[in-house]
Each structure stands twice: as structure tokens, then as C-alpha cells.
Amino acid sequence: MITNHTQLLNALIEKYNLKSYLEIGVQNPENNFDKIKAKMKFGVDPDESINHPMIYTGTSDEYFTGYDTIHDLIFIDGLHHADQVKRDFENSLRCLSDNGYIVIHDVLPENESGTIVPRETKQWWGDVYKFVMGLSNYDGIRFITFDIDNGCCLIKKDKNHKGKKTDIIPTWETYITHGKQLLNVTTTVEI
């Protein structure tokens, strides 16, 4: 049974024989990065105290400017600001293999106070959900959000899929009223 993002990422690696993994926002390698079972693992984090040979020290914007390595699986869990997540997502799409996956973490916040940017609370998801509510506007992808571990949105490339353009206003009220539909939320984790 898959109940958290680490289990989800490893299940994807195992089921689809994914080889190359990129983690945006490592923070502490022992929490997730070191547990990932991909053959090639890379991480990005601006924290200079992380001393790991496979983790780039710098922002994700800097990383994507200097590297164009193709990855099979990319986990976005860096700066939890909607505009940064949008940049990380679009950069990740450029570096994603044709059969690859992107997972965005913390897309199902529990309360509005935990979404305020800049951070004001201990429990904080940021406003990641604001970006993810608009994923249906993108051509060439399909996505589903699993209601596990504060929300894990799984995105797969599908060059034949046309986005469904919406004019949603990404607010907390929209999330409360239409979030489950816009985020394509399911409580069943099937990959």
C-alpha cells in the first residue's frame, strides 16, 4: 500500500523501470533522496550545508540553466511558491524522457493559513496548489493527484493530449469549491 511520496516514487521506478531520478528540494537526503532506488540520482538544493556528491548546491533555476540531463522521474518539492513550482515544472518537462513522470508534492493543503506566502506557520504547504489547479491548461500531459502525504500530483507526458483551457482564478475559495475536480484527486493510488 502506497501512503507517502517515497513509496510512490519507488513504485514508479520499479513498475516502469525508470533509471534516472532528479529531486528538486532535497533538504535532508535521509528523508527521501537516500531512500530512492533509481540507478542514477541527482538532487538540487540551495542549502550549502548539504554535503552530498550527487546534490547540486544552488537554486533549481540555476540548475536548469546549466544542465540539460534527461531524467525519467522528477520530484518537485523545492520552494513552495506557485510561481517557482511553475518554473520547476516547465523546466522539468524539458528534461523529462518521453516515458517519464513528474511528481509534485504538497498540492493538497489542509488549511489556508498553511498556504500563505511568505511562510507564517510551522505546518506549511505554500501555494503549490494554485499552480497545480491550472495543469489542465497544458497540452501534452495527463495528471492525477493522489490524496496521500499532503497530496502528490503525478504527471505523465502524452504528446497527443490537448489541454482543456480554463479561466480559473487560483484562490483558496476556488480550491475549497473546485479543487478536487481541478486537481483530479483520487483516494485510490494506482500507477
Beta carbons of 168 and 174 less than 8 angstroms apart: yes
> Which letter does DSSP use for residue 78 in this model?
S
Domain residue ranges of the chain, discontinuous segments joined by + = 5-186
CATH of 5-186, one of 3.40.50.150, 1.10.3760.10, 3.40.630.30, 3.40.50.300: 3.40.50.150
* Rounded Cα–Cα distance for residues 89 and 25 (Å): 13
Query: Would the pTM count as exceeding 0.85?
Result: yes
Say which residues have a Cβ less than 8 Å from residue 1's Cβ, sequence separation at least 6.
189
**∠ CA 72-34-110 to the nearest 5 degrees?**
80
| pLDDT tens digits in sequence order for the chain, 191 residues long | 999 999 999 999 999 999 999 999 999 999 999 999 999 999 999 999 999 999 999 999 999 998 879 999 999 999 999 999 999 999 999 999 999 999 999 999 999 999 999 999 899 999 999 999 999 999 999 999 999 999 999 999 999 999 998 889 999 999 999 999 999 999 988 88
- Total length of the chain: 191
Tell me the β-bridge partners of 104.
Answer: 76, 153
